[in-house]
Structure 1
Amino acid sequence: MEIFYQGHGSVRVTTASGIVLFLDPCAGDGYDVPADVVLITHQHCDHNQVQLVTIKDDAEIFSPSSMLRYGEYQSVQIKGINVTAVPAYNRNHPKEECVGYVVNADGIRIYFAGDTSRIHEMKNLKELEMHYAFFPGDGYYNMDVTEAESCADDVGAKYSVPIHLMPYHGQQGALFSEEKASRFRPKGALILRPGHKIVTRKSADGVEHDIIDA
C-alpha cells in the first residue's frame, strides 16, 4: 500500500491491487491518478474539491450525506476496501455535518480524523488497533498539536501523523507547518511532509514502511 500526503488535509491511498482512494481533495498534486473512491469528511471548500480528481466511470464518492444517515454512521465495502464513518466535530464543525473515516485495506487500518477536536468517541477506536492515524492540528478551526497528541494517545495507532496544520483562508499550496509538526510528539509520531508517501511492507512485527519523496 502507498499513502501519499498531498498536503493540508488531502491524502491519496493506493492499495496493493491498484485501487485508488482520495480523501478530502484540495491541496497539492497527484490528482491525475484515476480514482476508484473519493471520501469527503465535510463540505468545506478545503476538503471537497472533487473536480480536481480524475474520476473513473465506476468510481464512488462518499460524504456525510451518504455516510451519516439519521444519526447512524455507515459502513461500505467497495473494491476490497472497507470504509466506516466515525464521529468528527467541534465548535466549527457540527456533528451532524461532519465525519471521520476508518479505512481498512490490505490488512492495514487507517483512521482519518477529519476536522475535529478531541472527542470521547476516539477512545472507542483503540480496540481496532489502527496502524496509521491522521490528526488535524491547525489550532484555529480545529485542535492544536498538543490536543492532537492526546487524541493520538486515545486512539493508540502504531503511527500517528499530523496534518491540516495551517488554517485555510483560500490560499494555494501544501499548507504545512514544520514548526507545528515538530511539536507533535506522541508515541509513534510520524512526520509526513507534502509530496512524500508511506510505502508499507509486512514484517514479523506487523506492518512497517518506508517514507519516499514521490
Structure 2
Amino acid sequence: MKDMRILFQGHGSLRLTTGAGKVVYIDPYAGEGYDRPADLILVTHQHFDHIGIDKMPRNDGCVVIQSFDALAGGRHHSFSACGLEIEAVPAENKNHSRAECVGYIVRGEGLCLYFAGDTSYFPEMDGFAQKHIDYAFLPTDGFYNMDAAEASRCAELIGAKHAVPIHMNPRQQLFDPAVAEQFTAKNRLIVKAGEEIEL
C-alpha cells in the first residue's frame, strides 16, 4: 500500500489521498486540484469559503459529511468512511459558533490528522495531546480566526508531530509567506499552496 498524501490547495482547502487510493476533500473552495473524483468530502462549517462541494466529480457512493451532520442533535458525532475513522470535535471563536462549526480528527492507515477548520483556542484542546496527532492543520489569519502566535501556542498544546499553518489571509489569499514565518511552533511544517506532501 502507498503512503497517504495531502495536497494543500490553498486558503483552508486540502485534498487527502489515502494509501488505498481514496480521495478526501476537506473544506473545498480554493485553488486547484479538484480533478480527482471524491470518495469523501468533509465540511467544517457553512461559510462560503469552505463549502465548494460541487467543485469536483464524485465517485459512486461518495460520502459528504457537513457540519450539520457532525453536530446533529447538538452533539459531536463520529463516522466511518473510506477505511477512515472521523471524529467531529469543537471549533469556535467570536466569528464561529461551536453550535455550527466543527473540526475533524481523522484516523487511518496508522496516522492521526487534525483538521481544525475555522477556530481559535477552545478548552477541549487541552486534552488533544492524548490523541497522539501526527499532523495538525491550523488556521492563522488573525482576523476570522486565531493569529499565528495563538496558533503556535495551540500547536505546542496539541503536541502534533507536525503542525501546518493554513487559512493565512482574510482575503482568501492561497498562501501568505509572511504569516507562515510568524507561525513559530517547534513542530512547524510549511506547505505552500499547490504543494503535495507524503505523510
The whole-number CA distance in structure 1 between the counterparts of 2:53 and 2:142 is 26
- Give the drift of 1:78: 0.9
2:26 aligns with one of 23, 26, 34: 23
Q: Which amino acid aligns with 2:15?
A: R
1:110 aligns with one of 110, 113, 127: 113
2:11 aligns with one of 8, 12, 31: 8
Matched residue, 2:198: 199
- Give the drift of 1:184: 0.7
Q: Which amino acid aligns with 1:129?
A: H
How much is the aligned-residue C-alpha RMSD, in angstroms? Answer: 1.0
TM-score, normalised to structure 1, is: 0.89
Please state if 1:129 is matched with 2:132. yes
Q: Which amino acid aligns with 2:196?
A: K
- Structure 2: state its 5+ residue gaps: none
The whole-number CA distance in structure 2 between the counterparts of 1:190 and 1:79 is 26
Give the aligned length.
Answer: 196
Please state if 1:85 is matched with 2:88. yes
The whole-number CA distance in structure 1 between the counterparts of 2:126 and 2:163 is 15
Q: Which amino acid aligns with 2:74?
A: G
TM-score, normalised to structure 2, is: 0.96
Q: Matched residues, percent identical?
A: 45
1:64-79 map, 5 Å: 64-79=67-82
Q: Which runs of 4+ in 1 moved over 6 A?
A: none
The whole-number CA distance in structure 1 between the counterparts of 2:82 and 2:133 is 21
Q: Which amino acid aligns with 2:142?
A: G
The whole-number CA distance in structure 1 between the counterparts of 2:107 and 2:52 is 24
- Structure 1: state its 5+ residue gaps: 201-214
The whole-number CA distance in structure 2 between the counterparts of 1:29 and 1:59 is 20
Q: Which has the higher strand share?
A: 1
SS of corresponding position for 1:102 = strand
SS of corresponding position for 2:99 = helix
